[in-house]
Structure 1
Amino acid sequence: MDELPIGRRVAYWRGRRKLSQQVFADRLGKSKSWVDKVERGVRRLDKFSVLYEIAYILEVDVQLLLGKDPERRADALNCIDQVEVQEIRAALERYDSMSAYFDAAPFPPPLMDMRKAVSHAWLTYQYGRYGMLTRALPKLLRDAQAADAGHDGDHSREAAHLLGQVYQIASSVLRKLGECDLAWLAADRSMAVAQRADDPLLAGIATTRVCNAMVAMGRPRPALELNLTIANRLAPGGDNDSDPGRLSVYGLLLLQGAMAAARLGDTATVDDLVNGAHEAALQLGSDQNHYWTSFGPTNVELHRAAAAVELGDGGRAVEVHRQRIAEPMFNTLLPERRAHHLLDLARGFAQIGDVANAGEMLLRGDRLAPSEIRCRPIAHEVMSDVLRRTRGAPPSLIAELAEHMGVGV
């Protein structure tokens, strides 16, 4: 972005704010032709007063228009900004289904189109492209809500199912980006919609999103209890089958319960739950992606390492990585899972004072999924720790990544 002419940067931010050239020109008090010439580079922007007015209308810092960044985050465009947060909040605050109860619903989006859009959003998340996803979320939320409100009869359950998935996608990415209150709201909505979709497994996955948000908000005890309650109801055996979907959802509930227990410092419960998930994974046989869980034997070990980090036992996390995670199986996982694990490893190495390897894990994670490292608050904390404890000047690659992250060297 920095190397673009200033007119192209203005066009980029105008497009990101969903302003037409005419609307943008009207707000500036200029003609549409003037805006077009600026964006094409025909007309120069050499007055700071005009630049500041443009920055004000586009709700960005003027340094961004000049190809600089006030926070030294050269890749800031990969992360969410407050305008997008407000757009997502506005979409989450809609109550289309209640409006449809009183008035005829508008023509809803076709379910075939919604299925494709939801699958694309899941893959965008699992490939760690968070900036792309957050920019698409407001429209996806509105479309899914309209579909849920507008379809009835045989199609109502599928529409609710799709909306529940969209809420879960929103919750997952918002939690990663530190927007915990919105993550909880989206997850809570997903649980309610899952009941209308009449899919217990969708409700089980919705439970993990709620509990993740609760842990992020400092509420691990109720998160642990809720995960275990729903896991017990969905457990394979008895009247419940043992198909791959159920095994995956059940196993993920146990793993998320283990993460909540780790936040509480309850080592015994962590071990019990991870081992229970391991048994479910062995029945499944391999890492799969039923209900978008990425659940399987390798992912269980990733959570074993992550729980060790939460317990403050970085050495144990490194041991799990080296002794229990086979590199070929690890490399088959989707980028978000791998980059997330490398971030956990960076935290583990930092806990045992190995800042060189901690930095290396951040670099590896950044190569896999830059947004997982550059946009997550926890990654910024790790990088700050690495820089603070590095003797002398940090290695050039670490310094460069820190620059991209906006973390002071």
Structure 2
Amino acid sequence: MNEITNIGRRLRARRDELRLTQAYVSEHAGISERTLGMLERGEKPNFNWSTIVAVARVLDIDPTEINDKRSRVSPIAGAGVLAVRNAVYDPEFLPGLPSETTGEPATIAELRADLDRAYGAYFAGQFGALAAELPPLLARCRATQTHLDRRDVAGVYSHVWQLAACLLTQTGRTDAALAATERAIATAQDDTDEWRQATMYGTYSWVLLHAGRHEDGERLAVKVADSIKPDITPGVDPRRLVAWGGLMLHAAVLAGGAGRTDDADEYFAYARAGAGLLEEDRHDYWVSFGPSHVGVQMTHVNTGQQRPEKAMRAHRQIRAADLMPVQRARHLLNVAEIHRLGRQREKAEAAASQAVKIGGQEWFRQQRFGATLVDRLERDNARASSALRGLRNLVGNGGAV
């Protein structure tokens, strides 16, 4: 059973559980009854994710349950994503309780080196290694904070919480990811760098995207972006530009994911103006912004809205060297979908295979869009090539409802 069929069966099972008719669900989701029927039967491979989110909202179910977004990460030495979730929900953080923090403090330089390695693992798609590292790194940050001025540790500590949120989002635990991001935001308030603080709100809006809460995420991203909006003139602090630009890109993706492409295009226009002041893409506060990353997100939105010509034009603006490994790998999945829509099967399979090579098998197994892409490629072709069979082996045949 493939990914598209499984999505349809989960929708149908939830609707039956609530004893709702197709007519009721389609009316309140703003789609036709025919479209809902095709989705439930797995007969509509070229669906927009915003449609699934709309149906899930009527059915009062998290979109991550519909597409089976969960951890497929193999634990290392018994430590996995569940341990990261437990670290976020550690009872020691409950307000009003005396602190019983134990452990040896580290120096700020040591914490920064640990953080750099952890983010390196994240952007290399090494989620298992990251999951094993995060709980002890959080503990080291907390122990250090009790011995030093909170302001000295806040910058590093907030990014560790942020990184935990990113991993939890990738593995389908959006509730825990939101809690981790709240801790990142609260910790960043002790830091003197206001641009860093703004990026934490950007992470929160990104998690809301994965939770299917497009309007909430967009509103937050725009609100914070407006509060730090720089003058788009030469001489602007590039770190401020990156923090603001990252928020504008979040807003664009959120609007595009909700199907409001005109609003997304407007956000992209602002972002392009800011990116034009940078000679090349920058990576400040673990946020990437510049001409290439504007192109990446424009490609993403236009691919999702099945506008392959616009998506390909945006793709041509990108320099691969500006992207970190998993950024490039995820972008290549969009490129594969563009080629598939253009009936260029071999190019589509080559792009998807290259994405796996760059991002790694562990990363690819977490990409539900990758699984859907494989389903779509198989439906388009009567005979599977060796490349497509290899991709199928990685994503599996889907799970039971």
TM-score band by shorter chain is: 0.7 to 0.9
Partner deviation per Cα, 1:215-267 (whole Å, 9 max, x = no partner):
111100011111001001111139xx821111111111000100001012112
- The 5 A counterparts of 1:356-395 are 356-370=346-360, 371-392=362-383, 394-395=384-385
TM-score for the superposition, normalised by structure 1:
0.72
Residue aligning to 1:60: none
Instruction: Please state whether the residue corresponding to 1:283 is helix, strand or coil.
Output: coil
CA contact (8 A) 1:171 1:187 kept: yes
Instruction: Please state whether the residue corresponding to 2:90 is helix, strand or coil.
Output: coil
- The 5 A counterparts of 1:166-205 are 166-205=160-199
Instruction: Please state whether the residue corresponding to 1:223 is helix, strand or coil.
Output: helix
Question: Counterpart of 2:188 in structure 1: which amino acid?
Answer: A
CA contact (8 A) 1:314 1:350 kept: no
| Structure 1 pair 269–359 and aligned structure 2 pair: CA distance change class (3 A) | same
Greater Cα offset, 175-184 or 394-403: 175-184
Q: CA deviation at 1:369?
A: 1.2
Residue aligning to 1:402: 392
Confirm whether residue 257 of structure 1 aligns to residue 251 of structure 2: yes
Larger RCO (CA within 8 A; separation ≥ 6): 2
| Structure 1 pair 219–254 and aligned structure 2 pair: CA distance change class (3 A) | same
Q: CA deviation at 1:77?
A: 6.0
CA contact (8 A) 1:365 1:372 kept: no
Q: Of 119, 138, 141, which aligns to 1:141?
A: 138
Instruction: Please state whether the residue corresponding to 1:211 is helix, strand or coil.
Output: helix
TM-score for the superposition, normalised by structure 2:
0.74
> Max radius of gyration: which structure?
1
Residue aligning to 1:341: 331
Greater Cα offset, 276-285 or 170-179: 170-179
Residue aligning to 1:116: 113
Q: CA deviation at 1:179?
A: 2.5
- The 5 A counterparts of 1:161-240 are 161-237=155-231
Q: CA deviation at 1:301?
A: 0.6
Residue aligning to 1:71: none
Residue aligning to 1:25: none
| Structure 1 pair 95–352 and aligned structure 2 pair: CA distance change class (3 A) | farther
Question: Counterpart of 2:248 in structure 1: which amino acid?
Answer: L
| Structure 1 pair 100–249 and aligned structure 2 pair: CA distance change class (3 A) | same
What is the distance in 2 between the residues matched to 1:83 and 1:354? Answer: 42
Q: CA deviation at 1:352?
A: 4.7
Question: Counterpart of 1:144 in structure 2: which amino acid?
Answer: C
Residue aligning to 1:295: 289
What is the distance in 1 between the residues matched to 2:187 and 2:208? Answer: 19
Partner deviation per Cα, 1:86-114 (whole Å, 9 max, x = no partner):
21111111265668983475443332221
Instruction: Please state whether the residue corresponding to 1:102 is helix, strand or coil.
Output: coil
What is the distance in 1 between the residues matched to 2:131 and 2:113? Answer: 17
| Structure 1 pair 184–312 and aligned structure 2 pair: CA distance change class (3 A) | farther
Greater Cα offset, 206-215 or 193-202: 193-202
Q: Of 303, 309, 321, which aligns to 1:309?
A: 303
Aligned pair count? 323
Instruction: Please state whether the residue corresponding to 1:109 is helix, strand or coil.
Output: coil
What is the distance in 2 between the residues matched to 1:103 and 1:202? Answer: 27
Partner deviation per Cα, 1:343-398 (whole Å, 9 max, x = no partner):
22223334455444332221011111113323222211211222232222x11122
CA contact (8 A) 1:247 1:284 kept: no
| Structure 1 pair 131–103 and aligned structure 2 pair: CA distance change class (3 A) | closer
Question: Counterpart of 1:324 in structure 2: which amino acid?
Answer: Q
CA contact (8 A) 2:292 2:322 kept: no
CA contact (8 A) 2:74 2:80 kept: no
Residue aligning to 1:6: none
Instruction: Please state whether the residue corresponding to 1:265 is helix, strand or coil.
Output: coil
Confirm whether residue 268 of structure 1 aligns to residue 262 of structure 2: yes
CA contact (8 A) 2:92 2:100 kept: no
* Long gaps (5+) in structure 2: 1-71
Q: CA deviation at 1:175?
A: 1.7
CA contact (8 A) 2:164 2:180 kept: yes
* Greater helix fraction, Structure 1 or Structure 2: 1
Question: Counterpart of 2:154 in structure 1: which amino acid?
Answer: A
Greater Cα offset, 158-167 or 138-147: 138-147
What is the distance in 2 between the residues matched to 1:204 and 1:86? Answer: 28
Q: Of 83, 104, 108, which aligns to 1:87?
A: 83
Q: CA deviation at 1:280?
A: 1.3
CA contact (8 A) 2:291 2:317 kept: no
Residue aligning to 1:17: none
What is the distance in 2 between the residues matched to 1:332 and 1:213? Answer: 24
Partner deviation per Cα, 1:45-70 (whole Å, 9 max, x = no partner):
xxxxxxxxxxxxxxxxxxxxxxxxxx
The alignment's C-alpha RMSD in Å is 2.6
Instruction: Please state whether the residue corresponding to 1:289 is helix, strand or coil.
Output: strand
Partner deviation per Cα, 1:179-206 (whole Å, 9 max, x = no partner):
3222222222211111122332122111
Q: CA deviation at 1:286?
A: 0.8
Residue aligning to 2:128: 131
What is the distance in 2 between the residues matched to 1:372 and 1:319? Answer: 27
What is the distance in 2 between the residues matched to 1:360 and 1:80? Answer: 31
Q: CA deviation at 1:296?
A: 1.3
Residue aligning to 1:330: 320
Partner deviation per Cα, 1:5-32 (whole Å, 9 max, x = no partner):
xxxxxxxxxxxxxxxxxxxxxxxxxxxx
Question: Counterpart of 1:374 in structure 2: which amino acid?
Answer: R
